[in-house]
Amino acid sequence: MEKITLSIPIISCEHCVMTIKRELGEMKGIVEVEGDPNTKEITVQWDLPATLEKIKSTLKEINYPAAD
């Protein structure tokens, strides 16, 4: 299993975190998504077929792009 913490500067409240959790949660292979509106970070755990690339492109699609 892989795990990463991503900074998402546009997160402003708990609803943003919930949206991200819901949208990423629909992706096959996603094991867990946690987020904190105070730090504006999410932590994602995944297995194949999910990949970091797919996670990042989904975040972009839902308008919560991760900072590089």
The residues binding Cu ion (CB under 5 A) are: 12-13, 15-16
Is 36 or 47 the residue whose CB approaches Cu ion more closely? 36
> The tokens of 23 are what?
């949208």
Tell me how far, at minimum, the Cβ of 16 lies from Cu ion, in Å.
3
CA distances from 12 to 5, 9, 20, 33 (A): 17, 8, 12, 17
Tell me how far, at minimum, the Cβ of 14 lies from Cu ion, in Å.
7
Indicate the SS3 state at residue 33.
Answer: strand
Tell me how far, at minimum, the Cβ of 29 lies from Cu ion, in Å.
26
